[in-house]
Structure 1
Amino acid sequence: MEDQRGPRPGRRRGRWERRERWEHRERERPRRHGGLPVRSALVVAVVAQAASGWAAHAQTGARPLDVLARLLLLAGPLLLLGREKYPVPVVFGVSAVTLAYLAGGYPYGPVFLAVALAALSAVAAGHRYAAWTAVGLLWAGHLAIAHWLYRWLPPAGDGPAPWEPEAGALAWVVAVFAAAELVRVRRERWARERAERQAAAARRADEERLRIARELHDVLAHSISVINVQAGVGLALLDSDPEQARAALTTIKAAGKEALGEVRQVLEALRTPGAAPRAPAPGLDRLPELVAQAAAAGLAVEVESAGAAGPLPPGTDLAAFRIVQEALTNVVRHSASRTALVRLARVPGALELRVDDAGPATGSDAGGSGTGLTGMRERAGALGGTIEAGPRPDGGFRVVARLPLKETQR
């Protein structure tokens, strides 16, 4: 019973594997033979020399093969050695050698094999008009020799050739060019598909590089900001309040340990691509940790939630966590406000995040890379969401993110 479900993945993989092997052979073959297609030229030479001898015995009235005929039969395959680099000169050269062989009155036979291979190579390389011209000139010369010039060409006493076999010869020419066009089309399609696969692989590599850069930025920017603030507190209170300085150092140690753990996880994923991470990706369930870290840096964070609670898709959960993390990091680094409000709202079809601080901006250089907002926009954009960030009329700053949710995710 015929399977109506279409081609199976195994069959599709088999075709791709066979195509990859063929492309690999096409790339390696010129290297193995110094850039020359020796094997095919040698086969054509052997067949032409052997089969032409048989044709000389079978065809009456043809001129016996002599040294000149043997040299002409060898010249065509020798020219074929350059068909990969110079397809147009080769197809014209082989056609001229073949025409000289026919003008000598030698027997018909596999001498046309070199012409077929030269024409096929020229067409496959995209020079179809040159191939048609060369074979057309050969055809015209053959007609002139067989029907008009035979009086002045060997062998002596030869008569005109019949017209009936010309139809078969014409069909042979059409068949050769049809095969050549088929090879050309398939090569172009495979080259285009290979280029598309390479472009897709390059895009995936670029996307992965950007993802890793965002992860490292978010982890390091947040942790180092906490460390920087606490280091300042510790230095300021080292002599006057040793206990408070000790608490600042404890916060620095915890933030550094967390940053090292997350960076190690990213680096392990780079060393073993495709392996499952040992620790789950952070999500909004770790929002209390962010609040505690912000509190250790001197920022009081209030969290409000609205809408139905429930699990989020891993990608959305990670993006939401990193957006809130980066927004709070920016408050710590760039705002004079010591309070922030985080509001999470589950609305139909989307998760909305809002982070507000009362400001004003400090205006000082916080030493950041300046890519925090860009990273947030990239995270939201990768999910089809949006980010709006800017100053509020009262001097504060607001970040609003909208991350879409599918119906099955709600």
Structure 2
Amino acid sequence: MEKQSPGPARCGGPSWRQEGPPPLPRRWVRGPGDEDARAVRLPWPSTAALTVFVLAGSHFAAHVQTGRAPLDAFAHGLLVAGCGVLLVRRRHPVVAVFAASAAVMVYLGAGYPYGPVFLPVMVGCFAAVVAGCRRQAWAAIAMLWLGHLLVAHWLYRWLPPAGDGAAPWGQELGIAAWAVAIIAVAEVVRVRREQWARERAGRAAAAKRRADEERLRIARELHDVLAHSISVINVQAGVGLALLDSDPEQARTALTTIKSASKEALGEVRQVLETLRARGEAPRSPAPGLDRLPELVEQAASAGLTVETTTTGRRGTLPPGTDLAAFRIVQEALTNVVRHSAARTARVEVAYERGALVLRVDDEGPASGGDAGGSGNGLIGMRERAAALGGTIDAGPVPAGGFRVTARLPLAAEAKEDA
């Protein structure tokens, strides 16, 4: 089993884990979900630069603050230790901030000069707050401030350098303001980082939702194309087998119908799949619409079903999505008649009403009761198509016998009407 590197420490707060698309390019502040090798590398360059700066600044402060203890090997060790512990600030931010605070406390207690010695604590506190370890960072800062208060105002008599006096109280206010400023900046960065993480998670969820919707659309389209054509093929194959010996000419006609239906199905399947292979490109052939209703009637007739069609109202120019949905709903309804009904006659009514297109498909029944090999998703697919356009589907038996499917699809008020 492959051993994984430990990720950055998490002390609390929401975890926004990104799934689906690849993560966005890295920023200087990483989100909580970016747990890869780059997020857990030891920050050698920044820590080395900080160490050099602290050592140089402390030597400069030693020349200015002549009343403090001179820098010796122990002082240099404390400075290097306070900076070096920041190497683990990404994996263990709490350890880093407390260790840096402890090193600075010992440094000040030993009477060494002030200077950039507080910078390691600033960096450690910043890393802890951004990682979500807010309380621990506050506790480390409070420990350092209280320790300095104790050393500078009560223990200075027994600590080096000799003859040192109490620190002014104004200095304590300055240190407190410095600590509050560090925490405030770190909190702002933490909030901004979580906002970035939420945005990334939202974009990933939106991309996944679009992909799911596209898969559902393609599955629905393939189901409608194949269900209708294979139903016709199934019926004609049965006719051909039954008449192969007694009426070869009629069997030939059935085989011709099978060939035509399968060719049309292959063409429509190819059109659907082309939209996957060439994303963003226009399809090579127009999507089917109600202008192809005579083709459905002809295919149903080849399966032994007589279809009567009527159109009422003033026909308007339908939006492409509505036109395709109307065609597929009528296609699926006629397919269900061929599969599940013993009726040999069906009626299709297309009504252009004010603000809506109403489709009604009736058959006189009764149900055939045979296994037609359907998937059971036909009515579900019709309802999904209608719901996607804000419409409705009503399907069920009628009191006089038979089965009725009624679809109501809303039309935009500004749809143009044919003259």
Instruction: Give the TM-score normalised by the residue count of structure 2.
Output: 0.90
> Does the residue aligned with 2:284 lie in a helix, a strand or coil?
coil
Q: Structure 1 residues 237, 378: closer, same or farther in 2, change over 3 A?
A: same
Aligned to 2:9: none
Do structure 1's residue 26 and structure 2's residue 30 form an aligned pair?
yes
Kindly report which structure 2 residues correspond to 1:264-283, keeping only aligned pairs within 5 A, or say none.
264-283=270-289
CA drift at 1:404: 1.0
Deviations 1:257-289 (A, max 9, x none): 111111111112112222221111111111111
Q: Which runs of 5+ in 1 are unaligned?
A: 1-18
Q: Which of 160, 178, 182 is equivalent to 1:176?
A: 182
Deviations 1:102-126 (A, max 9, x none): 1111111111111111111111122
How far apart are the structure 1 equivalents of 2:84 and 2:397? Answer: 77
Do structure 1's residue 239 and structure 2's residue 206 form an aligned pair?
no
Aligned to 2:307: 301
Q: Partner amino acid for 2:63?
A: H
> Does the residue aligned with 2:405 lie in a helix, a strand or coil?
strand
CA contact (8 A) 2:29 2:193 kept: no
CA drift at 1:188: 0.9
> Does the residue aligned with 1:154 lie in a helix, a strand or coil?
coil
Q: Which of 111, 114, 119 is equivalent to 2:117?
A: 111
Deviates more, 1:302-311 or 1:163-172: 163-172
How far apart are the structure 2 equivalents of 1:317 and 1:349? Answer: 14
CA drift at 1:204: 0.5
CA drift at 1:171: 2.1
> Does the residue aligned with 2:374 lie in a helix, a strand or coil?
coil
Instruction: Give the TM-score normalised by the residue count of structure 1.
Output: 0.92
> Does the residue aligned with 2:124 lie in a helix, a strand or coil?
helix
Kindly report which structure 2 residues correspond to 1:4-43, keeping only aligned pairs within 5 A, or say none.
20-23=24-27, 26=30, 31-32=37-38, 35-43=41-49
How far apart are the structure 2 equivalents of 1:211 and 1:40? Answer: 51
Deviates more, 1:194-203 or 1:26-35: 26-35
Do structure 1's residue 254 and structure 2's residue 254 form an aligned pair?
no
Q: Partner amino acid for 2:289?
A: G
Greater share of helix:
1
> Does the residue aligned with 1:398 lie in a helix, a strand or coil?
strand
CA contact (8 A) 1:341 1:357 kept: yes
Kindly report which structure 2 residues correspond to 1:305-324, keeping only aligned pairs within 5 A, or say none.
305-324=311-330
How far apart are the structure 2 equivalents of 1:102 and 1:87? Answer: 23
Do structure 1's residue 75 and structure 2's residue 81 form an aligned pair?
yes
Deviations 1:364-400 (A, max 9, x none): 1111111111111111111111111111122301111
Q: Which of 225, 230, 236 is equivalent to 1:230?
A: 236
> Does the residue aligned with 2:414 lie in a helix, a strand or coil?
helix
CA contact (8 A) 1:30 1:37 kept: no
CA contact (8 A) 1:96 1:138 kept: yes
> Does the residue aligned with 2:88 lie in a helix, a strand or coil?
coil
Aligned to 1:16: none
**What percent identity do the matched residue pairs reach?**
67
Q: Structure 1 residues 343, 233: closer, same or farther in 2, change over 3 A?
A: same
Q: Which runs of 5+ in 2 are unaligned?
A: 1-22
Aligned to 2:18: none
How many aligned residue pairs are there?
A: 392
> Does the residue aligned with 1:111 lie in a helix, a strand or coil?
helix
Q: Partner amino acid for 2:83?
A: P
> Does the residue aligned with 2:202 lie in a helix, a strand or coil?
helix
CA contact (8 A) 2:30 2:193 kept: no
Q: Partner amino acid for 2:305?
A: L
